[in-house]
Chains A and B, each alone.
Chain A
């Protein structure tokens, strides 16, 4: 890594429970987000020569980069599809940075659209894949179709709950510390008008009194599905731009894919964010202690606990103490998920993971208003896909 690549612009829809506008095709969502991101970056469309998009795309199952490039009117030197669930945004960022570093291209548009599209009038509703399976595949020949679904091992809640339950048996479990993650992040959301739960503070008692969904996870420890979308642009740091927003240099990154189901992991408490983060920090020549803020993927509170431990912010088994000992709000000594995290910002499908990346960039740029943290030069960002299936890590540094 020679440090050529930077995130130069971002765009994000405010998450909504349901989209309140007319349905938009994925192509139009991508075009809309692309325009917003280019405007934020101060780049012209002619400067964009790379594209990273997701594999879930209503209008096509194959040849998606060419279709999107054509629709947007872009000529591309790099076209990438990323299929890493909630780890996708960070995965796009590092793939784009690597492509820029290698000289393949100069500016990569990364887009994750997550609003519903218009229903196809010719297709009957409910045809094809059934709903409610989340990350679980019920397709013929998928191991999950045989060995998970018939037993009710479906979607993500119970997988994360089983990881938490094993953590409880091996290291002990402090429900109040887990609740504090949700409470401190809610405090951050209350300083972020774009957060879904803006203006709705909660207490640890609220979290622990909320409905038990799958022991030991309560409702308020589980992310709320939303619709939305996000985009960002990774470019050569010296690219000509029409504004002077600070850029976020991509200093280090890592990725690790472990298992589709944590049931089959050698040790479900040793998560993929460990190897991903060690590589990211080594590449950057930095350590977790150097970070000014951490934007940690938070589909569940247990995800945050395990990430803080395995990424090296604290020792294994001491996550609850770390959480008790630190103020995790934007005012605090360990600013964590300063936008509210997905738990309080809302999880717009696969764009949920982009919320962490967008927040890190905007904090580095000093554009976060009330919740702006005073030290904001170095940020850690993580992404998590499936049930601790795959994780990605990113170290960003504000341009001098």
Chain B
């Protein structure tokens, strides 16, 4: 169990979290303009089409930016400072917020290749999508 805030899944986002629990990454792609969509939506934010299809992607990407938060951003994160907060750009284009794991501070570099790490916070219930270096 954890005292940290957990994702509040919604009917809209459930396919994403179901996939993460099964240790793969599904995001929406627009059937009309073919662009990828994250976070989950009713519509394509590029062309406003309603025709979105969930598809499995590798989840690999590159580090767009990061910070090392030396003060916990909420009290619940005090056990993990510095928090290695990061934004990943998936190879398909969308950006997502995550944290980096398995990396020393001096190993982190904007532009580095990253691969997903499935962190089973509450096994079978809650998995978070973290990232580490793709070596």
Name A residues whose Cβ lies closer than 8 Å to a Cβ of B: 132-133, 138, 140-141, 143, 145-155, 157-158, 161-166, 168-170, 211-215, 217, 261, 263-264, 268
State A233–B67 Cα separation when bound (angstroms): 41
Interface centre among B7, B67, B110, B111 (most CB of A within 10 A): B67
- List chain A residues, Cβ under 8 A from B86: 162
Distance of B124 from chain A, by nearest CB (Å): 17
| B48: Cβ under 8 A from any A Cβ | no
Closest Cβ–Cβ distance, residue A322 to chain B (whole Å): 23
Q: What chain B residues lie within 8 Å of A147 (beta carbons)?
A: 7, 39, 96-97
Which chain A residue shows the least CB distance to B98? A151
Q: B110–A263 contact, CB under 8 A?
A: no
Question: Are A263 and B67 within 8 A (Cβ)?
Answer: no
Give which listed residue, A149, A163, A211, contacts B65 with CB less than 8 A. A163
B58 at the interface (CB under 8 A from A): no
Whether A151 lies near B75 (C-beta < 8 A) is no
Q: Which of B52-80 touch A at CB < 8 Å?
A: 64-75, 77, 80
Contact of B66 among A143, A145, A162, A170 (CB under 8 A): A162
User: Within the complex, what minimum Cβ distance (angstroms) separates A388 from chain B?
Assistant: 13
Give B63-111 interface residues, CB cut-off 8 Å to A.
64-75, 77, 80, 82-83, 85-87, 95-99, 109-111
Q: Is the CB of B69 within 8 A of A169?
A: no
- 16 residue pairs from A and B, CB less than 8 Å apart: A133-B74, A138-B5, A140-B10, A150-B5, A151-B128, A153-B85, A161-B67, A162-B66, A162-B86, A164-B67, A165-B67, A165-B110, A211-B71, A213-B69, A214-B68, A214-B70
Is B49 among interface residues, defined by CB-CB distance under 8 A?
Answer: no
Q: How far is the CA of A166 from the CA of B69 in the complex (A)?
A: 15
Are A263 and B74 interface neighbours, CB within 8 A? no
A141 to B83, CA, bound (A): 25
Contact indicator B74/A150 (Cβ below 8 Å):
no
Knowing A158-B85, A162-B87, the reply to whether A212 touches B74 (Cβ < 8 A) is: no
The answer to whether A158 and B8 touch across the interface, beta carbons within 8 angstroms, is no
Cα–Cα, bound, A138→B74 (Å): 13
In the complex, the answer to whether A158 meets B67 with C-beta atoms within 8 Å is yes
Residues from chain A with Cβ under 8 Å of B39 in the complex = 143, 146-147
A149 CA to B99 CA, complexed, in Å: 11
- Closest partner residue, chain A, to B73 (CB atom): A154
- Of chain A, the residue at the smallest CB distance from B12 is A141
Is B31 positioned at the interface, with any CB of A under 8 Å from its CB? no
Nearest residue (CB) in A for B70 is A212
A268 contacts B6, C-beta separation under 8 Å: no
Interfacial chain A residues near B7, Cβ < 8 Å = 145-147, 150
Q: Are B9 and A146 in contact (CB under 8 A)?
A: yes
Within 8 A of A (CB), among B114-135: 128
How distant is the Cα of A147 from the Cα of B8 in the complex, in angstroms?
A: 9
Known contacts A138-B8, A141-B10, A152-B77; 9 additional CB pairs below 8 A are: A138-B5, A151-B85, A158-B83, A158-B85, A162-B85, A166-B65, A168-B110, A214-B69, A264-B95
CB proximity of A131 to chain B, nearest CB, Å: 10
Q: Which residue of B lies closest to A267 (CB)?
A: B64
Report the Cα distance A152→B75, complex, angstroms: 10
Q: A149 to chain B: which residues have CB within 8 Å?
A: 5, 74
Query: Is B69 within 8 A of A165, CB to CB?
Result: no
Known: A146-B9, A214-B71. A165 touches B128 (CB 8 A): no
Let me know if A150 and B6 touch, CB within 8 A: yes
Q: What's the least CB distance linking A163 to chain B, in Å? A: 7
Query: Please, how many angstroms separate the alpha-carbon atoms of A169 and B65 in the complex?
Result: 9
Query: In whole angstroms, what is the CA distance A138 to B73 when docked?
Result: 14
Nearest CB of chain A from residue B18's CB, rounded to whole Å: 13
Chain A residues with CB under 8 A of B95: 263-264
The answer to whether B73 and A157 have CB atoms under 8 Å apart is yes
* B85 contact set on A, CB distance < 8 A: 151-153, 158, 162, 214
Alpha-carbon separation in the docked complex, A146 to B98 (Å) = 11
A215 in contact with B67 given A152-B73, A264-B95 (CB within 8 Å): yes
Partner of A152, one of B13, B74, B87, B96: B74
